[in-house]
Structure 1
């Protein structure tokens, strides 16, 4: 199975980002037929959304850090990515 065939849901952030960079390089090369370019664009958009969702989840987790009275991090609160913020 190649990077192009790997389901996005099975990729970690770094793999998805590498796959997105590969899509962008191929599209920028200008050597891809139109139909394949459209498929690549769709895959790239799905990869971008997956990366953005993972970044948003990481940001939300970071924001869950609980600060103590002295302003220093005192712990964390669990973050449930499935519930609306």
Structure 2
């Protein structure tokens, strides 16, 4: 996407599903495996909630670590969706120019 170009709206999802399942070191027994089933918007919204809880500073160490791991998995999933959207846009641009 060109610099300064408008970003796609949040409700636009790439036409390809991410093919990389987010994994987090220390993700005991696949506790975050469900992240792969989330849409971009669901993962982003949950990530915002996780960050707010962590920034609140009211959680114990164990819960903070669990949430941090969840946040890492959510961030990786969002990144995969965005990479897929960028690749799809690049393919579309190339097809239109070629």
TM-score, with length taken from structure 2: 0.62
Q: Which residue does the alignment assign to 1:78?
A: none
CA distance in 1, matches of 2:97, 2:73: 39
Q: Which residue does the alignment assign to 1:26?
A: 53
- Larger strand proportion, structure 1 or 2? 1
Runs in 1 of length 4+ with deviation above 2 angstroms?
none
Q: Which residue does the alignment assign to 1:48?
A: 75
1:67 deviates by 1.9
Give runs of aligned pairs for residues 59-74 of structure 1, distance below 5 A. 59-65=86-92, 66-68=95-97
1:10 deviates by 1.5
TM-score, with length taken from structure 1: 0.71
Number of corresponding residues: 65
1:6 deviates by 8.3
CA distance in 2, matches of 1:48, 1:27: 14
Greater relative CO, 1 or 2 (CA 8 Å, sep 6+)? 2
1:68 deviates by 4.3
Larger radius of gyration: 1
- Larger helix proportion, structure 1 or 2? 2
Tell me how large the CA RMSD over aligned residues is: 1.8
